[in-house]
Amino acid sequence: MSSAVPAGPPPGPARPEFWRSPLRGPWLTAVFGLILLFGVTVLFVTGLLSYAAYNPALARTNDETPDKGLLGFYLFSWPTSPYWIYRLTQGIHVTLGIVLVPVLLAKLWSVIPLLFSWPPVRSFSHAVERLSLLLLVGGALFEFATGILNVQLHYIFPGSFYTLHFYGAWVFIGAFVVHVAFRLPRALRAVRPGRALPAAGDRSAALVSPRPAVPTLSRRGAVALVGAGSGVLLLVTAGQSVGGWFRRTAVLAPHGQDPGPGPNGFQINKTAASLGIRTSDIGPGWRLTVLGGGRRTVLTLDELRALPQYESALPIACVEGWSTTDQLWRGVRLAELAALVGLGTDPPHVLVESVQRGGAFASAVLRDNQVRDRRSLLALRVNGAVLSPDHGYPARIIVPGAPGVHNTKWVTRLTFGEPV
């Protein structure tokens, strides 16, 4: 029986001498790990804030993550001030996620020998540890891959991106917390000046090649190289969140969505044609129906224009990370539309419905604090011009601090205070 058991690992990656890079070692792995510790923490927090911004506890139409249960413990009423809050938090989330890609890949490269350690399972605790690593690595790759695809507007997911990314984040962060709890002390020791080499029994010793190749780059040079890669990604990504002229530098941002020059010449995600908006839907026969308090009012576009008009300078900021600079919107305050059906004092939440036939977010529910904000409009004009069809003609929502998809376009119905 003993002669049938191999004396050592089989030929190939399970043998330590297979890995010959002289760069691998506890110090390099620890540096990349500590960078990811900070970066992933920021990503997780801003991701939670992005989810809260959709006000998912308000109505099912806002929430595409069913059965979240205790995972929604932190939700709160999303504020309208500062008006650029979502632009900031989601811009950080997307930009940082892309900037961390080289660091993540370098970290995985630095520890790849451990993934082939022999024997594959030495004990029950070792099996649990390897399972947690599978969830950690798989979760990281899944979250970064789906996030980048979403940023590029490639909706190729087998289901809702929001659902997949939400649950994937919780699986990943659970494994991440366990990993940090076990590895953080070791990482801090590895980067400490005057550190000793790992002992033979230390698992981190497996990162050091017993037969290293001739070095062509120092470990600090490797860190600098990865940092340079992240810096380049920052330069070609951040412009889509800053907006304005800087958008020209965002060569990795999705293109072909710019509606051209003029007052309506700022970024969009979906065109009217792509969402099934017909000329008859937004032509002379268009009407706005306002419901609430047991009353109903129907307005033509001319009647809407005859109501008091107000202006708000607000950006559009989307989950994909892009945002515009402040645009000057003009239209009717949501609170004054609520007053048309007798709800002018402390107006309640509102269900906003669009004429769009395809795609997600054809409707959304806005909280009472969003309705009451004096900057929240049913906008009819932008930058001094009538809205273009792609920007929501004849009327669209604009609310400070809200995700772009909640600034519903082609609005046809507002229902105040009814159960949703």
Domains of the chain, CATH where assigned? 9-242 (no CATH), 273-416 (3.90.420.10)
Over 90: is that where the pLDDT of 209 sits? no
Instruction: State residue 5's pLDDT score.
Output: 45
Instruction: Give the angle 265-268-274 at the CA atoms, nearest 5°.
Output: 120
Q: Which of 293, 310, 289, 279 is nearest to 380 (CA)?
A: 310
Residue 115 C-alpha from the chain's centroid: 29
Q: Which residues pair with 415 in a beta bridge?
A: 291, 351
Q: How far is CA 179 from the centre of its chain?
A: 23
Most confident among 9-18, 54-63, 158-167, 282-291 (mean pLDDT) = 282-291
The rounded percent of the chain whose pLDDT value lies above 90 is 60
Q: Is the pTM of this model over 0.85?
A: yes
Q: Which contacts (CB < 8 Å, 24+ apart) does range 162-169 have?
A: 162/64, 162/65, 163/64, 163/65, 163/66, 165/47, 166/51, 166/65, 166/68, 166/71, 167/65, 168/139, 168/142, 168/143, 169/44, 169/47, 169/143
Residues near 68 by beta carbon (within 8 Å), at least 6 away in sequence = 56, 166
CA distance 251 to 234: 11
pLDDT band at 2 (very low <50, low <70, confident <90, very high): very low
Burial of 347 (0-12, 13-18, 19+ CB in 10 A): buried
CA distance 214 to 222: 15
Per the listing, tokens 């969505």 go with 257
* Cα–Cα dist 395/299, whole Å: 12
Q: What is the pLDDT of residues 33-46, one digit of tens each?
A: 999 999 999 999 99
Whether the predicted pLDDT of 197 surpasses 70: no
Distance, first Cα to last Cα, the chain: 69
Q: What confidence category does residue 7 fall into, taking pLDDT thresholds of 50, 70 and 90?
A: low
| Cβ neighbour number for residue 420 with a 10 Å cutoff | 15
